[in-house]
Amino acid sequence: MKKMIVASTSTIFGNGYLEYLLPTLKIHFKDIKELLFIPFARPGGISYDEYTALVKKSFATIHIAVKGIHEFENAKVAILSAEGIFTGGGNTFELLNQLYKKDVLYVLKQVLENGTPYLGTSAGSNICGIDMMNTNDMPIVYPPSFKTLGCIPFNINAHYLDPIKNSTHMGESRETRIKEFHVFHNTPVLGLREGSWLAVKGEKIMLQGKHKARFFKQNKKPLELESGVEVVV
């Protein structure tokens, strides 16, 4: 049975790294001594070691050790034997590129379906959907495919932003971009605002955190889902 937390962001404004999620993670990862961290998304291009050190520091406060997947000889074995897994944010293109390169996407899906507790933030959440076609990231590398884990039956738009009032900038809003996506595809898309997350238990997906989420379906008016409700496609 899936046990996943799929969060919009690692960090909310004015807080430390993962700080707002720690009470939830303490319960989600209870009984876990060591967490496997996947640092492939490299936010700001930082190294795997630097990124893992940051994550170690946060999880130390709830007494969980952290080991980066790059510290293992065999990435597949690392995933198969992990007590719990966290994929951090950064660039979704590079994250997915590395998951394909290391040929671990399928094995990651397998262990998540079988119940290894998971945390994703930002890019690490984008990969939980059907494909990564609703990321906000820059395509700085070309992955072999945009197909992702498919552990939830819709796509995530992390860091969802409402149109900025009185903006004079002519770039497209998130809503416009997601509507463009729906010209080509019928996969639903959940716009997750910073501070919100999904708690996935088996096939049940609950919206948690302090914000509503905006749910886009092809040829339908977007819905505002309240925190605490089940997300049903």
* Catalytic hit among 125, 159, 196, 211: 159
Does position 141 interact with its own copies (CB under 8 A)? The reply is yes
List the one residue out of 58, 95, 99, 94 whose CA is nearest residue 76. Answer: 99
Single residue of 2, 159, 211, 214 touching its own copies by CB under 8 A: 159
**What are the tokens at 81?**
């034997």
As separate numbers, helices (DSSP H) first and strands (DSSP E) second, the chain gives 7, 11
What value, to the nearest 5°, has the Cα angle with vertex 84 and ends 80 and 86? 105
Is 31 a residue of the active site? no
Q: Which two tokens stand for residue 9?
A: 């962001």
What character string, x for contact with its own copies (CB under 8 A) and - otherwise, covers 44-83? xx--------------------------------------
* 212 interacts with its own copies by CB under 8 A: no
Distance in angstroms between the alpha carbons of the first and the last residue of the chain: 19
Q: What are phi and psi of 8, to 5 degrees?
A: -65, -40
Which member of 8, 58, 137, 196 is catalytic? 137
Catalytic residue among 122, 125, 131, 196: 122
Q: Which DSSP helix (H) or strand (E) runs through 34?
A: strand 34-38
The two tokens of residue 167 are 């903006």
Q: Which of 145, 204, 229, 232 binds its own copies (CB under 8 A)?
A: 145
Q: Say if residues 58 and 22 touch (Cβ distance below 8 Å).
A: yes
Establish whether 159 is a catalytic residue.
Answer: yes
Active site residue 173: no
Which residue number, 84 or 191, has a Cβ lying nearer to its own copies? 191
Instruction: Tell me, residue by residue from 166 to 185, as one string, x for binding to its own copies by CB under 8 A and - for no binding.
Output: --xxxxx---xxxxxxxxxx
**Binder of its own copies out of 52, 91, 125, 208 (CB under 8 A):** 91
Helices (H), 140-196: 174-184
- Interface residues toward its own copies, by CB under 8 A: 9, 11-14, 42-45, 90-91, 93-94, 132-142, 145-146, 159, 161, 168-172, 176-185, 194
